[in-house]
Structure 1
Amino acid sequence: MQGINLIKSTAAAVISAILVGCSTNPLPLDPVIGDTGQALSEIAIKTDVTHYDLALEVIPNKKRLKGLSKTDFTILAPTRFVELKLDSRFTITAITSQDKPLNFKRNQGVITIDLGEQKAPGSVTSVSVAYEGQPHIAKNAPWDGGFVFSQTESGEPWIATAVQGEGCDLFWPCKDHFADKADSMRIRLTVPNGLSAVSNGVLQTITQLSDNKQQFDWLLSVPASDYNIAINIGPYTRIQTEYTSVNGATVPIEFWSLTQNEQKARELIDNDLRQQVTFFEKMLGPYPWGGEKLGFVETPHLGMEHQTVNAYGKKYVRDPNGYDWLLQHELAHEWFGNLMTHEKLNDAWLHEGFGFYMQPSYSLYKFGDAAYNHSMYKAYLGLKNCAPVVLEGQITSDQAFNSDIYGKGGWTLHTLRWLVGEDVFWQATRELLYGVNNTASLTYPIAPRYRNTDEFISIVNRLTGKDYQWFFDVYLKQAELPELEVTQTPHNITLSWNTASLKGNKFPMPIPVEINGESNTYYPKEGRINIAIQQGDHVVIDPQMKVLRYLPIIDKCSNEESKL
């Protein structure tokens, strides 16, 4: 999801979004539905979703959906019941299994379905839900998500979904938890003629139906988090090309642009996307979903990392970075978020900190030190430091996606890269993603994996042969930045670290110091660094800002937190 670059909306835009939301969403979102990734219930934990089959008709002029969703479950523990979630504003017209009606109870958005008999572990069952109604309208997508019903400049319907914080249950019955990715999903979208319906995976067929409608049949054959499933409808042109991956495979590229923007989209592919993919594959490894597609679709909202069909709404405007930062950020999430998925919301910085940091890293790769330092300095000025990056306990999406998981997460990686060196940093990153370092020979399909912060720390410790727990405890698990206390006399400088959670020599962070233009790195001994100087020497501590620490150019804690 987009972070620090465009967090703040204007007051007028926010007020407008709220007013639109109030007028089109008479029912408030049930908190159970409006927050994805909550702890699984005793019923939900007994099942594993293996496949979804969603047939959905979108009726643009009525802002209405009519759907039939089939879910295949593998039973993990003895149970008579299965559980799905669906926004309570939808009417359920039937729930069946093998065409036989099932009894069910509905508590707001939670549907408890009685299978009629106890199911044994290892058995498989399928449940179909027929439903219809008007979906929740996003107030400010992608940050405050839901359905986006918009129009092109010529007045044609232009529709999208973005539900990272809220989850899949805003528009189809699902388990709604990133920790249970279905192995595959079929998505059949029916729309009026003249519109295209774009989703995840590979387009199988386009079928002409009666009543001036057509159906787009998509098949996603790799696991994906259910919040990544997306619907995009509009007067699109399908641009198809390809590239050769680092592993030798030919990977399809698809960009679905509004018809009038076809040339702009083609230029974006040739002038930006190809170079960005080359960078990612060089530093990380093969694009994860090369057996499906590398996909983007133009949307009426800013953007979102929908696996194989990333939303792009930046209007093809090149920014001061010298490349399209939105395209790059969403592409980064194909690795950080989609290939490697956080084990729980507490570890969301693994998505967003890495996703953010790949942008200045790309600036360094493409333009050099000045561009990299510019990006990092801007991010430093935006740090909040009011809550830990990695929070403890059960948390909500709103708590997880605070702005510091982007900028402070990225700055943690910046300092780690300097501390452990280029080779170790990028090897640790590749192992986090793929489980191996030598990634160039990996073939499709590439298996996704769940990761947590402690696993990344373990990888770093193993590769360095050192214990860096102190590093991650200070930067990720306390809110306050470490402070470097400086005492200077005409002939000596004494440096010592002050942190909220670690004292004295428990935070052995080295620091570069430049004296009269000559720079050296100094390591604490017994919690202090003593440097002999001559009277009149010009001293600059950490002139390249390699070490994340508090400087008086930012607040120690800024509570003006924007919703991400």
Structure 2
Amino acid sequence: MRLIYFIFCFLLLPFTSKGQILTANRTDYTKADSLRGSLRPERTSYDVKKYKIKVRVNPDKRYISGVNKMQFRILKPTQRIQIDLFEEMNLDSVVFNQKKLQYKREFNAVFIKLPTVLQPNNDLQDIQFHFSGFPKVAKNAPWDGGFVFKKDQNNKHFVGLAVQGIGASLWLPNKDHLSDEPEELEMTIECPKNLVAVSNGRFITSYEVDQNFKAYQWKVENPINNYNITINIGDYVHFSDKFRDLDLNYYVLRGHLQAAKKQFEQVKPMMACFYEKFGEYPFKEDSFKLVESPYLGMEHQSAVAYGNAYKNGYRGTDLSGTGIGLKWDFIIVHESGHEWFGNSITASDIADMWIHESFTSYSEAVFVECEYGKDAAETYLVGLRQNVQNDEPIIGDYGVNAEGSGDMYYKGANMLHSLRSTVNNDSLWWKTIKKFHENFKHTTTNSTAVIKFFEDETKMNLAPIFRQYLKFAELPKLLIKRENKIVLVKWEAKAKNFSLPVEVITNNKTFRTQVSTREFTKLQIGNSENFKLNNYGFYFKTEVIN
């Protein structure tokens, strides 16, 4: 355990944000936001079971056209359902039981009138959405959503798609809410004949469509987030490998094959670490893929987008500023970590996106610990604090498709490490983390359920700690004062009943004191007036008072 000396002063780190937050905090919500983010009867009345998508991508024109055949089950009596598609896209027709249906657009929501009131039962219904248009082109993927149309070094088309936050309805008519994932997906992409199209899941077949286009079929056998449904088109070459019984598939641009084979060797030790700490890869039926992309990266399920130029670090830099982040490829580790947290365990509202990003950012430190030890992991986590803003709550506003602060990345990771230090039992901690994934695998969930799980498993009152870091912008502050040779401490925090241990070491002995916000508590420091305060294991601020 690394510690810092405390002699009534502390170091303030400069804060710069580098987290991949995709939308800024807002308060000026509109009806369009509510239509996009809320769960009303037009959405809760049915459950999506499958998407069968066929889409043609014309890179020369930056134009797409296709059909999404949605299979669904009625949960509550309804004659009106909502799907979502951006206004920039054309909804050419809606077909149900071989008849075209009427629909009404309101912003990016589409309300469809069914022929009769459908009643709940076990029967599956099928509806087809025919669409076309010029989809939004991302200006700076993946931070803003859309298609990416570029050319590779040989002047061939190189196409990608990233829509986290903004949503799959940017291009695809679908029920665009995190709470409802299709249980399976079939995707057929038609692209120019001299290119290869890659999507989620396993490759099924390819065939020529006409003299200019070729089709590639893919299939996913597990629940999948709508924003994870992806399109990759390029002059790809394929190679494969195995980790235990997991198929590893890689699609990289022609000319990058040797660089990819060397860089992607990092996948196996990463998998070994994550298997040990989080459990087996959650989409084994669909295989694991890294697909070279024309942007930095994204956690597309079973088709992780990779654009880190075959360099270690984050675009060749270390976000922690410690040098540890340059020992491994950030995009491989972080985006693959999302397969467990975000893709397998999914927030039911984007306001709880911390469930995706905090655990995945923590997985970076978990990988560091597997490879280089706990001291290195703690050093890496402390280094990441320079990116934390402490400006807004990590949890966003519910029902309006609003993410919280980008602090969900590195403040969230340090929160989880503080929880580990609070539990103070690594065997129990790792058992709880693994059980968390195993119990919540392939489900959507929320903050309340996650916090309750950790409390139940550890038999500890952790909710106030979660609340302080997630619902309030400010870090907990340790107030310190000295009365003669006695050091008194007390937490200043906004979360009710907040309590966190304080650890010090003096004369080679470690003392641990449970401290609350209620009253000053005598800090155990042994017989020495000087002591070391552990803010590697815990993330907080300090203030000396008279």
TM-score, with structure 1 as normaliser: 0.85
Paired AA for residue 513 in structure 2 = Y
Mapping for residues 191-210 of structure 1, pairs under 5 Å: 191-210=191-210
Query: Which residue of 1 is the match for residue 467 of structure 2?
Result: 473
Distance in 2 of aligned mates of 1:184 and 1:33: 29
Letter in 1 for 2:452: S
Letter in 2 for 1:279: C
1:355-394 pair list within 5 angstroms: 355-391=360-396, 393-394=398-399
Task: Give the equivalent residue in structure 2 for 1:185.
Answer: 185
Which of the residues 412, 435, 455 maps onto 2:415? 412
2:506 aligned residue (515, 518, 535):
515
Alignment check: 8 A CA contact 1:33 1:86 kept: no
CA distance in 2, matches of 1:80, 1:536: 75
For 2:354 and 2:74, locate their aligned partners in 1 and report how far apart those are by CA, in whole Å.
32
Q: Which of 535, 546, 549 is residue 537 of structure 2 equivalent to?
A: 546
Is residue 204–residue 218 contact of structure 1 (8 Å, CA) maintained in 2?
yes
Provide structure 1 residue ranges, at least 5 long, that are not aligned to the other structure: 10-29, 245-249, 437-446, 553-564
Displacement, 1:434? 1.4
Deviates further, 168-177 or 91-100: 91-100
Q: In structure 2, do the counterparts of structure 1 residues 391 and 61 end up closer, same or farther at CA, with 3 Å as the change threshold?
A: closer
| 1:18 equivalent in structure 2 | none
Task: Using the TM superposition, give the Cα deviation of residue 72 of structure 1 relative to its aligned residue in structure 2, in angstroms.
Answer: 1.3
1:433, 1:449 within 8 Å by CA — same for their partners in 2? no
Residue identity opposite 1:476 in structure 2: L
Q: Which of 155-164 and 450-459 deviates more?
A: 450-459
Alignment of 1:444-483 (within 5 A): 448-483=442-477
1:239–1:37 CA distance, 2 compared to 1 (3 A)? farther
1:427 to 431, 449, 468: 431
The whole-number CA distance in structure 2 between the counterparts of 1:161 and 1:34 is 22
* More deviation, 224-233/359-368: 359-368
Post-superposition offset of 1:541: 2.0
List per-residue Cα deviations over 1:118-158 (Å, max 9, x = no partner): 21112432111222111101121111111111110121100
Q: What one-letter code is carried by the residue in structure 2 that aligns with 1:182? A: P
Cα deviation code 1:518-555 (max 9, x no counterpart): 3321234873332477997322222x522221148xxx
In the alignment, residue 425 of structure 1 is paired with which amino acid? W
Local SS of the residue matching 2:269: helix
Question: Distance in 1 between the 2:227 and 2:302 partners?
Answer: 13
1:330–1:534 Cα change, 3 Å = closer
| Cα distance change on mapping 1:53 and 1:332 into 2, 3 Å | same
Q: Does structure 2 conserve the Cα–Cα contact (< 8 Å) formed by 1:490 and 1:534?
A: no
- Which of structures 1 and 2 has the larger relative contact order (alpha carbons within 8 angstroms, sep 6+)? 2
Q: Which one of the candidate residues 506, 509, 519 is aligned to 1:527?
A: 519
Per the alignment, in what secondary structure is the counterpart of residue 291 of structure 1?
A: helix
State the Cα deviation string for residues 478-512 of structure 1 (Å, max 9, x = none). Answer: 2211111111255221112122344xxx3332211
Which whole-Å CA distance do the structure 2 matches of 1:289 and 1:476 have between them?
29
1:112-261 equivalent positions in 2, closer than 5 A:
112-122=111-121, 123-244=123-244, 250-261=245-256
CA distance in 1 between partners of 2:194 and 2:445 (Å): 43
SS in 2 for 1:511: strand
Give the equivalent residue in structure 2 for 1:284. 278
Is the 8 Å Cα contact of residues 187 and 199 (structure 2) preserved in structure 1?
Answer: yes
Counterpart Cα distance in 1 of 2:273 and 2:510: 31
Partner residue of 2:307?
Answer: 313
**Aligned equivalents of 2:37 and 2:526: distance in 1?**
60
Return closer, same or farther for 1:409/1:536 CA change in 2, 3 Å cut-off.
closer
- d(CA) in 2 for partners of 1:182, 1:535: 62
Question: Please, which moves more after superposition, 250-259 or 447-456?
Answer: 447-456
Select between 89-98 and 475-484 the one with higher mean Cα deviation. Answer: 89-98
Question: C-alpha separation between the residues in 1 aligned to 2:418 and 2:523?
Answer: 22
* Change in CA separation of 1:392 and 1:83 when aligned onto 2, cut-off 3 Å: closer
Q: Kindly state the Cα deviation for residue 161 of structure 1 after the two structures are TM-superposed.
A: 0.4
Contact between 1:303 and 1:310, CA under 8 Å: does it hold in 2?
yes
In structure 2, what is the Cα distance between the partners aligned to 1:163 and 1:96?
Answer: 26
Q: Secondary structure of the equivalent of 1:494? A: strand
| C-alpha distance in 1 between matches for 2:238 and 2:431 | 37
Q: What is the distance in 1 between the residues matched to 2:253 and 2:223?
A: 28
Q: How does 1:81-96 map to 2 (within 5 A)?
A: 81-96=80-95
| Structure 2 Cα separation of the partners of residues 31 and 58 of structure 1 | 32
How far has the Cα of 1:424 moved from its partner?
Answer: 2.1
CA spacing shift, 1:116–1:5, aligned 2, 3 Å: same
Q: Secondary structure at the match of 1:139?
A: coil
Q: Which amino acid aligns with 2:259?
A: K
Q: Which residue of 2 aligns with 1:440?
A: none
In 2, Cα distance between the equivalents of 1:533 and 1:70? 67
- For residues 32 and 207 of structure 1, the distance between their equivalents in structure 2, rounded to whole angstroms, comes to 44
Contact kept? 1:494, 1:531, Cα under 8 Å: yes
Question: Structure 1 252/531 Cα, relative in aligned 2: closer, same or farther at 3 Å?
Answer: closer
How far off its partner does 1:31 sit?
Answer: 7.8
Structure 1 partner of 2:109: 110
| Cα distance change on mapping 1:79 and 1:290 into 2, 3 Å | same
User: How far is the alpha carbon of 1:206 from its aligned partner?
Assistant: 0.6
Indicate how the Cα distance of structure 1 residues 536 and 66 shifts in structure 2: closer, same or farther if over 3 A, else same: closer
What does the per-residue CA deviation read over 1:37-57, in whole Å, with 9 as the maximum and x for residues that have no partner?
A: 611332122111111111100
Q: Residues 34 and 210 (structure 1 numbering): CA distance in 2 closer, same or farther, change over 3 Å? A: farther
| 1:459-487 Cα shifts (integer Å, max 9, x gaps) | 22222323222222222222211111111
Deviations 1:255-288 (CA, angstroms, capped at 9, x unpaired) = 1101111111111222x00110010001111100
How many Å separate the matches in 2 of 1:196 and 1:35?
38
Shift of 1:516: 4.2
What is the aligned residue count?
Answer: 507
Distance 2:18 2:102 in 1: 47
Q: Indicate the SS of the match to 1:112.
A: strand
Displacement after TM superposition at 1:427 (Å): 2.1
Q: Is the CA contact 1:33–1:169 (under 8 Å) kept in the aligned structure 2?
A: no
8 Å Cα contact 2:476-2:541 kept in structure 1? yes
Judge conservation of contact 2:348–2:445 (CA < 8 Å) in 1.
Answer: yes
Measure the CA separation in 2 of the matches of 1:333 and 1:473. 23
Secondary structure of the residue that 1:43 maps to in structure 2? helix
User: Is structure 2 residue 79 aligned with structure 1 residue 80?
Assistant: yes
Structure 2 SS opposite 1:328: helix
Q: TM-score, normalised by structure 2?
A: 0.87
Q: Percent identity?
A: 26
Partner SS for 2:460: coil
In structure 1, C-alpha distance between the alignment counterparts of 2:36 and 2:430, rounded to whole Å? 29
Deviation at 1:196, TM superposition (A): 0.5
The 1-side partners of 2:513 and 2:345 are apart by 36
Match of 1:332 in 2: 337
Distance 1:393 1:166, change over 3 A: closer
1:354 is paired with a residue of what secondary structure? Answer: helix
1:323 is displaced (CA, Å) by 0.8
Report the alpha carbon displacement of residue 370 of structure 1 after superposing the two structures with TM: 4.2
Instruction: Supply the distance in 2 between the matched residues of 1:112 and 1:36 (Cα, whole angstroms).
Output: 11
Bigger mean CA deviation after superposition, 159-168 or 203-212 = 203-212
1:492 to 2:486 alignment: yes
Q: Quick one: distance in 1 between partners of 2:228 and 2:329?
A: 22
